[in-house]
């Protein structure tokens, strides 16, 4: 092991960068190339800065009451300017997120916010792990909630929340910072969805996570090669401009074309290569379209290379329940309940969101029972979906 391969300290971002793509780790920490974060990362930075300033001001002013929407928007605009972002659509998303944050927060009691942007240092075996927790709230004399703000479009799966290494590290750090806290709730606050995805960990799970951190730290130090992991995430990688593997993937260059479709091994190899490339190219298409859409915010259309681009309004129709059932019942003479049974179904995504909200107020066991009772009435429709996953 050389001096440059030593990990002076570890952090969640350092570990997760290696887990996601060893090449990215190498470019960032060994070659020390300057990062060029993409728009989603920069937008997340702006939101974090705005919420940090908003909460810190509320604590300074010893606020007990709702946060100020005007102050939230002012902090957001200042952070947007400082980051040098542009694009009306994204800017408006941020305004919406800040307004929703204030609404979802409701009444804030400054005495219940234990920390905002709390730095920590944690000894894990031979390594020092450093990090920063977005926010820690005191729930009662024995309980705290660790909150990490996320600006993801997609919600995390239950498995992702329950096995998050980031949240495990935060809990381990919180146990040293607030040793009186017997109960620790871990939350991802999904800013785009107005909801928190919550989990808890046992002492054994935290101990296992720290063992994994130490092992991963040693594995990184001992690594002799740092292979690229080309995936859809490459479009957002802050070192993509220095990555040969990504440049190669963007050309769409293929190495396998199966001429004999009865050769299933070769067919599967080509399928995996095409699947991987198509994810990369789709993500790149999205990235390019975001740029074009930003230019179309103040122009009716763009004509580029013989192609015309426009933003066309789209619409979806939703029928309000009560007047729709009433009109149909009047016209047909059928009872409303009968019509409702035929016409109405509860959207699973909306149902899950309501259940997540309920989960904040009721004990976990009660929520699980409620879900089981409702699930007993649900019907499932089956179809087939093509599925493929790499084998270790
Ligand atoms: S562009 Fe993709 S393969 Fe290249 S370093 Fe970044 S994540 Fe890794």
User: What is the CA(220)–ligand 1 centre distance, in A?
Assistant: 17
Pocket around ligand 1: residues whose beta carbon is below 6 Å from it? 21, 23-24, 27, 228-230, 233-234, 237, 239-240, 243, 245-246
Q: In whole angstroms, what is the distance from residue 219 CA to residue 15 CA?
A: 10
**234 inside domain:** no
User: Which atom of ligand 1 sits closest to the CA of residue 237?
Assistant: 6
**Does the pLDDT of residue 324 top 70, yes or no?**
yes
User: What is the CA(275)–ligand 1 centre distance, in A?
Assistant: 17
Among 230, 235, 241, name the best residue to mutate to test ligand 1's pocket (greatest count of ligand atoms within 8 A of Cβ): 230
Number of domains in the chain: 3
Among 33, 232, 239, 276, name the best residue to mutate to test ligand 1's pocket (greatest count of ligand atoms within 8 A of Cβ): 239
Rounded mean pLDDT of 37-60? 96
User: Which atom of ligand 1 sits closest to the CA of residue 238?
Assistant: 6
Same-domain check for residues 174 and 285: no
For ligand 1, atom 7, which residue shows the shortest CA distance?
234
Same-domain check for residues 294 and 331: no
Among 18, 229, 242, 247, name the best residue to mutate to test ligand 1's pocket (greatest count of ligand atoms within 8 A of Cβ): 229
Number of alpha carbons in the 13 Å side-chain half-sphere of residue 351: 10
**391 inside domain:** no
Average pLDDT of the chain to the nearest whole number? 91
Same-domain check for residues 19 and 163: yes
Domain CATH code at residue 151:
3.90.320
User: What is the CA(39)–ligand 1 centre distance, in A?
Assistant: 16
User: What is the CA(253)–ligand 1 centre distance, in A?
Assistant: 16
User: Which atom of ligand 1 sits closest to the CA of residue 243?
Assistant: 4
Among 29, 41, 237, name the best residue to mutate to test ligand 1's pocket (greatest count of ligand atoms within 8 A of Cβ): 237
**389 inside domain:** no
Least confident of 31-40, 41-50, 125-134, 310-319: 310-319
User: What is the CA(382)–ligand 1 centre distance, in A?
Assistant: 37
pLDDT of residue 392: 57
Same-domain check for residues 306 and 340: no
Same-domain check for residues 98 and 21: yes
What percent of the chain clears pLDDT 70, i.e. is strictly above it?
96
User: What is the CA(156)–ligand 1 centre distance, in A?
Assistant: 22
**Does the pLDDT of residue 308 top 60, yes or no?**
yes
Render pLDDT for 77-123 as a digit per residue (tens, 0 to 9): 999 999 999 888 899 999 999 999 999 999 999 999 999 999 999 99
Q: Which of 198, 221, 244 is the last residue of a domain?
A: 221
Burial 211-225 (b: 16+ CB within 10 A, else e): eebeebbeebeebee
User: What is the CA(234)–ligand 1 centre distance, in A?
Assistant: 5
Range of the domain at 261: 252-310
**Does the pLDDT of residue 299 top 70, yes or no?**
yes
**In terms of pLDDT, which residue wins out, 378 or 335?**
335
Same-domain check for residues 45 and 170: yes
**Strand 143-150 relative to strand 183-190, pairing:** parallel
Same-domain check for residues 21 and 123: yes
The residue whose two tokens read 């107020």 is 361
Tell me the pLDDT band of 183, cut-offs 50, 70 and 90: very high
pLDDT of residue 27: 97
Q: Give the bridge partners for 190, in sequence order.
A: 150, 195
User: Which atom of ligand 1 sits closest to the CA of residue 23?
Assistant: 5
User: What is the CA(281)–ligand 1 centre distance, in A?
Assistant: 13
Q: Give the bridge partners for 122, in sequence order.
A: 129
User: What is the CA(251)–ligand 1 centre distance, in A?
Assistant: 15
**Tokens of residue 387, six digits:** 């599925």
Name every residue whose Cβ is closer than 8 Å to that of residue 154 and which is 6 or more positions away in sequence.
none
pLDDT of residue 1: 60
pLDDT of residue 236: 87
Q: Model-level pTM?
A: 0.75
Q: Quick check: helix, strand or coil at residue 303? A: strand
Render pLDDT for 265-294 as a digit per residue (tens, 0 to 9): 999 999 999 998 999 999 899 889 988 988
**Does the pLDDT of residue 297 top 70, yes or no?**
yes
Rounded mean pLDDT of 345-371? 82
**383 inside domain:** no
Query: DSSP labels for 153-204?
Result: SSPPPHHHHHT-HHHHHHHHHHHHH-TT--EEEEEEEETTTTEEEEE---HH
Among 13, 21, 25, name the best residue to mutate to test ligand 1's pocket (greatest count of ligand atoms within 8 A of Cβ): 21
Secondary structure element (H or E) that encloses residue 92, with its range: helix 88-105
The residue whose two tokens read 């929407």 is 69
For ligand 1, atom 4, which residue shows the shortest CA distance?
243
User: What is the CA(227)–ligand 1 centre distance, in A?
Assistant: 9
**275 inside domain:** yes
Same-domain check for residues 72 and 171: yes
For the chain, how big is the Rg over CA atoms in Å? Answer: 25
Same-domain check for residues 155 and 277: no
């Amino acid at each position: 092991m050389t001096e440059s391969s030593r990990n002076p300290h570890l952090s969640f971002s350092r570990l997760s960068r290696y887990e996601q793509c060893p090449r990215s780790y190498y470019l960032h920490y060994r070659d020390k190339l300057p990062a060029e974060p993409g728009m989603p990362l920069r937008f997340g930075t702006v939101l974090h800065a705005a919420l940090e300033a908003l909460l810190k001001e509320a604590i300074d002013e010893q606020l007990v009451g709702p946060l100020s929407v005007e102050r939230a928007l002012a902090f957001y605009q200042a952070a947007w300017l400082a980051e040098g972002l542009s694009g009306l659509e994204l800017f408006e998303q941020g305004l919406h997120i800040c307004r929703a944050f204030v609404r979802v927060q409701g009444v804030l009691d400054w005495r219940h916010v234990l920390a905002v942007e709390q730095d920590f240092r944690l000894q894990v075996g031979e390594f020092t792990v450093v990090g920063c927790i977005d926010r820690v709230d005191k729930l009662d004399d024995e309980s705290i909630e660790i909150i990490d703000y996320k600006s993801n479009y997609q919600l995390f799966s239950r498995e992702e929340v329950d096995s998050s290494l980031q949240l495990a590290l935060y809990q381990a750090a919180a146990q040293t910072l607030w040793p009186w806290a017997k109960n620790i709730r871990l939350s991802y606050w999904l800013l785009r969805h107005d909801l928190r995805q919550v989990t808890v960990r046992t002492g054994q799970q935290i101990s296992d996570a720290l063992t994994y951190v130490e092992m991963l730290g040693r594995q990184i130090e001992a690594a002799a090669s740092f292979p690229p992991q080309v995936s859809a995430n490459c479009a957002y990688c802050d070192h993509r401009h220095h990555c040969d593997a990504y440049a190669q993937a963007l050309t769409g260059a293929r190495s396998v074309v199966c001429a004999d479709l009865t050769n299933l091994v070769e067919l599967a190899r080509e399928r995996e290569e095409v699947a991987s490339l198509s994810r990369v190219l789709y993500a790149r298409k999205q990235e390019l379209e975001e740029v074009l859409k930003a230019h179309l915010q103040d122009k009716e259309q763009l004509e580029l290379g013989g192609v015309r681009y426009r933003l066309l309004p789209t619409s979806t129709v939703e029928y309000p329940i009560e007047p729709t059932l009433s009109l149909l019942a009047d016209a047909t003479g059928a009872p409303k309940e009968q019509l409702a049974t035929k016409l109405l179904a509860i959207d699973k995504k909306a149902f899950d969101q309501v259940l997540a909200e309920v989960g904040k107020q009721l004990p976990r066991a009660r929520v699980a029972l409620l879900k089981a009772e409702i699930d007993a009435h649900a019907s499932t429709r089956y179809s087939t979906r093509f599925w493929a996953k790499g084998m270790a």
